[in-house]
Amino acid sequence: MIKVEPCPRCQGIVVDEPLQDELICINCGWRPRSVPPDVQLDVDTHLGERSIERAHKHVPRGKPSPSWSERALRRRERRSEAG
């Protein structure tokens, strides 16, 4: 079903999607936001704080990969052993 009001982003046609039970713009894909109040409260309280992912540095595990010169040296050694 086509709605009367245009899309707020591109002024395109907004339709009522029957399979998803929501509005969607057929031009740009805009959808109205519906954020639950408890999620919005969490977002508002954590604004400006550092993210957990950014607070911890990635610690490399295992042996570091060999450099280009080390790989070339090993390749030459394997070739000399084989023939």
Q: Nearest CA to 22 among 11, 13, 33?
A: 33
What is the model's pLDDT at position 48? 84
Cα 22–Cα 28–Cα 34 angle in degrees, nearest 5: 35
Domain locations in the chain as residue ranges = 1-47
Scanning the structure block, which residue is given the tokens 């450099």? 67
Confidence of residue 3 (pLDDT cuts 50, 70, 90): low
- Whole-number Å distance between alpha carbons of 37 and 65: 48
Has this prediction a pTM greater than 0.75?
Answer: no
In terms of pLDDT, which residue wins out, 81 or 60?
A: 81
What is the model's pLDDT at position 54? 59
Q: What is the pLDDT of residues 16-71, one digit of tens each?
A: 877 777 888 888 988 888 889 999 998 898 888 777 665 566 777 788 888 999 99
